[in-house]
């Protein structure tokens, strides 16, 4: 009995201790949750709110300007903007000047998840006039429409800017983009740009040393009226970029690119252009394409119902090209080598510089034309046989990208038989046949005749003095072997007689031979 009482008391004590421990743990969790919640400053805006309110969910502000004014640089602030259209003086020409980088803060705008939050510039003003270089700003679920200005009709930013699931529709810009990023990093994903218009760059203009990331966006039906507009959709210059999984649709240009222009990047500033789809895009110029790119890695891009007066892709410097060298039959000392330049999907590339080699030795370079074909005319004497035609795509000494090369084969087969002609001061250019028994009179006749009949010529010059116009200023570009042999040492003299080539101040001494 006594033992049972002791056990009962022990059980009661254990229960009390367990309850106390659980209560303490719950309290710790609540404190942690409170601490976490306290690190985010939440502000609410509604089209039915009042700027005299508290900015809480129960008492929201009415304007964007008021909500921004309540944020400090050290805040990690979220401004929740309810459904409705926000326009007018306190909802346009907005400026964000917060030193987030110095104080570890940030600012995020979150709109209605059903797409009902609209920032409207009334076709008279930009929406966000400026975002400072030390600000860190994010927009989620917002529609930007009818913004109007010269640079950045919807947003002009020098800070780090992130845009997710937003729409930019019917904004007008005189010069640089519905979004103009002039500094900082830029990320745009899951967003749509539709029917924006302007004089030059319409949807996006990014030109500095930051990182731009464009993922899963739609750029559709933008229009630029200037013939100097590089592209009506996306222009990226100088910095690094990741451009992946986007759709470019119904776009036209005649300058650099109908849809996407990436230029002025080099070295470590690489553009990664992958898995994008281009639909019904049209290029009508001569020095561009649907995509204009520099120092870029391309993979998995698709072109559907696109037309171009050039190739679909226009290269300025190095990229991960596919170069397929064509087989060729060579029947002389002048011949043409060709290579087809494409991306990994066999889309043609114009203006790609191709280095050509024959059995590993460089013979020159050429750039690809509107059909993606690089053609090089070579003047070279090759012995009969088979040779490997290869090379690479490169503008610099070393292409930083891996180039896929398909070698070609050259088959050389023509008459290499040697020929000999004789020249004598007692010969005759009219009745002579160049034989030792019936030689020509002049070097010119001998060389003209010999180089026209053989790629392996030996000219024998008998003893004597050779002068006059037919024995000087002799120029030949024919490729082949030419050997000139005098009959005996010191007895064959070719005298140019101090003749001048040309007249007036540019006259110079004559050469005897130029090969």
CA distance 513 to 472: 7
Instruction: Give me the pLDDT at residue 398, please.
Output: 78
Residue from 371, 373, 200 nearest 289 by CA = 371
Q: What is the mean pLDDT of residues 202-210?
A: 91
DSSP states along 411-457 = EE-S----EEEEE-TT--TTT--SSSSS-BSSHHHHHHHHHHH-SEE
Kindly indicate the confidence band of residue 479, based on its pLDDT and cuts at 50, 70 and 90. confident
Instruction: Give me the pLDDT at residue 211, please.
Output: 95
Instruction: Give me the pLDDT at residue 93, please.
Output: 99
Please give the DSSP secondary-structure letter assigned to residue 324.
E
- For residue 15, count other CB atoms closer than 10 A to its CB: 10
Q: What is the mean pLDDT of residues 81-97?
A: 98
Please give the DSSP secondary-structure letter assigned to residue 449.
H
DSSP states along 116-153 = -EEEE-TTTS-SEEEE-TT-EEEEES-EEES-EEEE-S
DSSP states along 355-381 = EEEETTEEEEEEEB-TTSEEEEEEE--
**493 Cβ contact list (under 8 Å, min separation 6):** 464, 465, 466
Distances in Å between the alpha carbon of 37 and those of 31, 34, 40, 74? 10, 5, 6, 15
Contact 133, 100 (CB under 8 A): no
* Residue 18 reports pLDDT greater than 50: no
3-state secondary structure of 168: strand
Q: What is the mean pLDDT of residues 136-158?
A: 98
CA distance 349 to 352: 7
Percentage helix, strand, coil for the chain under 3-state DSSP, each rounded to 5: 15, 45, 45
- C-alpha radius of gyration, the chain, whole number: 38
**Residue 478, H or E segment:** none
* Residue 349 reports pLDDT greater than 80: yes
Give the rounded percent of residues in the chain with a pLDDT score beyond 90. Answer: 82
Instruction: Give me the pLDDT at residue 477, please.
Output: 82
Dihedral over Cα of 394, 397, 401, 402: its sign: positive
Distances in Å between the alpha carbon of 209 and those of 106, 129, 206, 385, 510? 22, 22, 9, 52, 57
Instruction: Give me the pLDDT at residue 37, please.
Output: 39
Kindly indicate the confidence band of residue 513, based on its pLDDT and cuts at 50, 70 and 90. low
- Domains in the chain, CATH or no CATH each: 40-315 (2.160.20), 322-412 (2.60.40.10), 419-514 (no CATH)
* Residue 459 reports pLDDT greater than 90: yes
Kindly indicate the confidence band of residue 256, based on its pLDDT and cuts at 50, 70 and 90. very high
CA distance 182 to 207: 6
Please give the DSSP secondary-structure letter assigned to residue 431.
T
Instruction: Give me the pLDDT at residue 501, please.
Output: 60
Instruction: Give me the pLDDT at residue 515, please.
Output: 61
Instruction: Give me the pLDDT at residue 514, please.
Output: 63
CA distance 127 to 199: 19
* Residue 38 reports pLDDT greater than 60: no
Instruction: Give me the pLDDT at residue 7, please.
Output: 38
Kindly indicate the confidence band of residue 497, based on its pLDDT and cuts at 50, 70 and 90. confident
- For residue 503, count other CB atoms closer than 10 A to its CB: 7
- For residue 355, count other CB atoms closer than 10 A to its CB: 21
Residue from 151, 101, 106 nearest 126 by CA = 151
3-state secondary structure of 55: coil
Residue from 221, 235, 350, 223 nearest 279 by CA = 221
**223 Cβ contact list (under 8 Å, min separation 6):** 195, 197, 198, 202, 232, 252
Instruction: Give me the pLDDT at residue 471, please.
Output: 93
DSSP states along 36-56 = HHHTEEEEEE-TT--TTS-SS
Q: What is the mean pLDDT of residues 370-380?
A: 97
Residue 479: exposure state from Cβ atoms within 10 A (0-12, 13-18, ≥19): middle
pTM, whole model, 2 decimals?
Answer: 0.84
Phi then psi for residue 124, to 5 deg, are -135, -10
Residue from 217, 224, 216, 164 nearest 195 by CA = 224
Strands 500-501 and 84-86: unpaired
Kindly indicate the confidence band of residue 233, based on its pLDDT and cuts at 50, 70 and 90. very high
**Residue 64, H or E segment:** helix 64-69
**Residue 25, H or E segment:** helix 2-38
Q: Dig out the tokens for 130 from the structure.
A: 């400026």
- For residue 325, count other CB atoms closer than 10 A to its CB: 23
């Amino acid at each position: 009995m006594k033992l049972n009482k002791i056990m009962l008391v022990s059980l009661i004590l254990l229960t009390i201790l367990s309850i106390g421990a659980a209560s303490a743990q719950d309290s710790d969790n609540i404190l942690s949750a409170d601490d976490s919640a306290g690190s985010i400053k939440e502000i609410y805006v509604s089209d039915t709110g009042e700027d005299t309110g508290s900015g809480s969910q129960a008492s929201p502000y009415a304007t964007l300007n008021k909500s921004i004014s309540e944020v400090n640089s050290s805040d990690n602030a979220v401004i929740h903007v309810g459904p409705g259209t926000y326009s007018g003086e306190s909802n346009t020409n907005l400026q964000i000047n917060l030193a987030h980088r110095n104080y570890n803060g940030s600012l995020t705008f979150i709109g209605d998840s059903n797409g009902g939050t609209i920032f409207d510039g009334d076709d008279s003003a930009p929406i966000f006039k400026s975002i400072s270089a030390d600000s860190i700003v994010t927009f989620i679920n917002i529609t930007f429409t009818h913004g109007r200005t010269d640079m950045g009709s919807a947003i002009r930013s020098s800070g780090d800017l992130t845009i997710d699931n937003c729409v930019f529709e019917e904004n007008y810009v005189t010069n640089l983009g519905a979004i103009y990023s002039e500094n900082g990093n830029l990320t745009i994903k899951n967003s749509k740009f539709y029917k924006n218009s302007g004089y030059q760059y319409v949807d996006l203009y990014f030109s500095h040393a930051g990182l731009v990331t464009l993922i899963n966006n739609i750029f559709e039906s933008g229009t630029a009226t200037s013939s100097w507009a590089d592209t009506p959709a996306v222009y990226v210059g100088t910095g690094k970029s990741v451009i992946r999984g986007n759709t470019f649709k119904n776009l036209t240009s005649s300058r650099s690119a109908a849809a996407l222009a990436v230029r002025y990047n080099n070295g470590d500033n690489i553009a990664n252009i992958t898995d994008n789809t281009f639909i019904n895009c049209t290029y009508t110029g001569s020095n561009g394409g649907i995509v204009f790119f520099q120092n870029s890695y391309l993979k998995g891009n698709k072109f559907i119902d696109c037309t171009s007066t050039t190739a679909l892709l226009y290269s300025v410097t190095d990229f991960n090209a596919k170069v397929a060298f064509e087989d060729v039959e060579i029947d002389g000392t002048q011949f043409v080598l060709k290579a087809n330049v494409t991306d990994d999907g066999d889309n043609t590339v114009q203006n790609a510089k191709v280095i050509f080699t024959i059995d590993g030795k460089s013979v020159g370079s050429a750039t690809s034309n509107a059909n993606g074909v690089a053609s090089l005319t070579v003047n070279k004497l090759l012995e009969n046989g088979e040779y490997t035609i290869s090379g690479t795509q490169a503008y610099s000494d070393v292409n930083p990208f891996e180039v896929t090369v398909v070698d070609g084969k050259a088959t050389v087969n023509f008459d290499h038989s040697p020929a000999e002609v004789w020249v004598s001061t007692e010969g005759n250019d009219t009745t002579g046949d160049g034989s030792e028994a019936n030689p020509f009179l002049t070097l010119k006749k001998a060389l003209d005749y010999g180089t026209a009949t053989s790629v392996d010529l030996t000219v024998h010059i008998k003893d004597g003095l050779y002068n006059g116009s037919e024995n000087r200023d002799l120029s030949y570009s024919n490729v082949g072997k030419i050997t000139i042999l005098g009959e005996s040492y010191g007895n064959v003299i070719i005298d140019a007689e101090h003749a001048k080539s040309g007249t007036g101040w540019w006259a110079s001494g004559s050469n005897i031979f130029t090969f």
